[in-house]
Amino acid sequence: MNAIKKILSVTDTRQYEEAGDRYIPIPGSGIAHDCYRCGKVHEVHYEVELDNGERVIAGSTCAKGESVEIQARFKSAGSLVKTLARNKAMLAGYEKKNVAYLEARAKVEAMPVPIIEIRGDKLVCGNVEVWTRTANMADPRDREERGECVRNGWKHKRMSEIFGEHPHLIATDWLKRKIEQQEKRLAEICNGG
C-alpha cells in the first residue's frame, strides 16, 4: 500500500441539523466516496496524493500519512472540516430565520395599528394595554412615550403570533468571519502551510 504524501483537500459531506441550540451531523446523509484503503464509504474524507503521484480518496479513519507531520495535518484538517461544516449549517439556519423574521416584520408593519384609547389608568391598543397615570397624560411627551410603548407592545404581540416567541434578528457577521478564517486555515493545512 502506498503511503500518503500530501493532503489535497478534506470534505465533510454530511448534512447538519439543528438540535436544541447546536447543530449535529445527520448520520448517513453524506455522499458516497470509496476509500482507497478499505473500499468503504467515508462521509468525512480526504483527497490525497500518494508517494507514487496517484490521487485517491481516503476516509478519515483510514488516512495514514507517511510521516508524523502529515499525520498531524490529517488530525487538524479532519477536526477543522467538521467544525466548518457545523458552522456553515448554523449560518444557513440563522439566515433562514432572519428571512422569516424580516417577512414577519414587513407583514406587521403593513397592518393598521388600532386606535389607542385611554381607559382609566390604562392605555389600550387592540388587545394590548399599558399602565399610565391620568396626570401624566397632560404632558404631551409622556403621552407620546406611553403611546409609543403600547403601539410597540401591540406590534410585538403580532410578531410573536407570526414569527414565534422572542422575535429578533440574529447577528451573523461574527460567524461569517469565523467561517472565512477557518476556510483559510483549512486551505493552509491542506497546502502545507
Interface contacts to Zn ion, rule CB under 5 A? 35, 37-38, 59, 62
Q: Report the nearest approach of Zn ion to the CB of residue 29 (Å).
A: 18
Nearer to Zn ion, 39 or 112 (CB): 39
Minimum CB distance to Zn ion, residue 189 (Å)? 20
Bridge partners (DSSP) of residue 126 are none
Minimum CB separation of residue 32 from Zn ion in Å reads: 12
Contact, 29 vs 96, CB < 8 A?
no
Complex with Zn ion: residue 35 or 108, whichever CB lies closer: 35
Looking at the Cβ atoms of 43 and 155, the one nearer to Zn ion is: 43
Backbone φ and ψ for 116, nearest 5 degrees, come out as -80, 130
Min separation Cβ 26 and Zn ion, Å: 21
Minimal distance in Å, beta carbon 93 to Zn ion? 31
Nearest to 122, CA basis, from 156, 149, 82? 149
Assess contact for 50 and 3: CB atoms under 8 A: yes
User: Based on CB atoms, which residue is closest to Zn ion, 33 or 146?
Assistant: 33
> In terms of CB distance, is 11 or 87 closer to Zn ion?
11
The span from the CA of 101 to the CA of 148, in Å, is 21
Contact of 124 with 55, CB cutoff 8 Å = no
Report the alpha-carbon distance of residue 63 to residue 82 in Å, rounded.
16
The phi-psi region of residue 50 (left if phi > 0; otherwise alpha if psi is between -120 and 50; otherwise beta) is: beta
Q: Is the dihedral of CA 21, 78, 61, 59 positive or negative?
A: positive
Residue 35 or 128 having the CB closest to Zn ion: 35
Could you tell me the smallest distance in angstroms from the CB atom of residue 72 to Zn ion? Answer: 19
